[in-house]
Structure 1
Amino acid sequence: DVVVVVRGPEAPVRLVQKVQRAGVWINSRPVLFEGAPGFYMTASTRPLSDIANFGQLRRLGVGVDHLRINAPDERRTVTRYGVRDVVISRLGDDYLDWRRAVIRLKEAAALYDTDPDGVTFVDRGLFRAEVKLPAVAPTGQYYAEVWLFQDGAPAAVSNLTLTVEKIGFERDIFEFAHRRPWSYGVLCVLLAAAIGYGASRVFRRS
């Protein structure tokens, strides 16, 4: 079995939850997750659960359910029984729900994907896997891993580094928006106002 994993650059994810206090809905204290790739995709010859067991996939970090996403600001170390230190989370039993929300948001934006039939063999020893990058995919260094599994265990792995960047006019706009966000915002407002004014003139004449 072959499994292809592609990871984009990591970026922190901040989440809030709507909670009701005194009859009013407000945002909860934000939770910051770290270690979440900006893009993550797995393609395999068959479902991951049929290729390796839960423990192997968790150890290798293969599959969205096994991503090492943590909320370090929510953790603290306490001493239990005066013998050993234990790391606990303020989120308690809700931690997995928060973590799943991170993955769900990424999947909705097509930034996380799992394709159990994404690897096809085109010839003996040769295979093909397609990686679909959405327009919102982050730029930067991407890391690809090609795992070969045999009898449920990893037999070999090959690593590849890719660079994703915007080109042409789109790149110029992207860089300008990040270098001068205020100027970019003002230009967007002026452009929207000009378009609105032009449209009102056209409708007025008709």
Structure 2
Amino acid sequence: MFYHAYDAYMENAYPADELMPLSCKGRWKGITPSRGDMDDALGNFSLTLVDSLDTLAVLGDFSEFSRAIKLVIKDVTFDHNIVVSVFETNIRMLGGLLSAHVLATNLKNEVPALQWYNGELLAMAEDLGKRLLPAFNTSTGIPHGRINLRHGMRGMSESRETCTACAGTMILEMAALSRLTGNPVYEQKAHKAMDRLWKIRHR
């Protein structure tokens, strides 16, 4: 089942974010007709491939895992003038990069196909993390729901409201990024948001 979806995406949609299953074409933000808020998960950064990296490793397909990582390193960039969901970008892109980095690092001494890996995904994750940080610059510490990957919150006309899940589930990826890079700011920002939610909870 995984390969049915993965192969279809790679053959028909990559490097777009998603495969449109009926037309067998790629979905690009700002190019393909919009679906409204559903498209906030898209950032023209090969979302499906990054989101699939760790599954390739878990399935033991190390040759494809290695090939996919090389594609991400070569083709994916975050310097886009595009508004994205902070939550979706955190759990799918940041989480995908970090999990693949940890797996590749742990496997590189055992798997010949991964011996070339030298932390490139972590560097990409840190770049993305820095681009998400301005969303946390609020009076409460609870992050805005959306951010422009290139310009941050400057000139944002979109709604700045967010949901409880979007505000309170940043800690896993942000803490992992802090601990892997040695920069505490990501974990601190996510922890502040979580603490704020706890303090204003319904009693």
The TM-score by the shorter chain falls in which range?
under 0.3
Q: Structure with the greater relative contact order (CA < 8 A, sep ≥ 6): 1 or 2?
A: 1
TM-score (norm 2): 0.23
Q: Which structure shows the bigger proportion of residues in helix conformation?
A: 2
More strand by percentage: 1
Which structure would you say has the larger Rg? 1
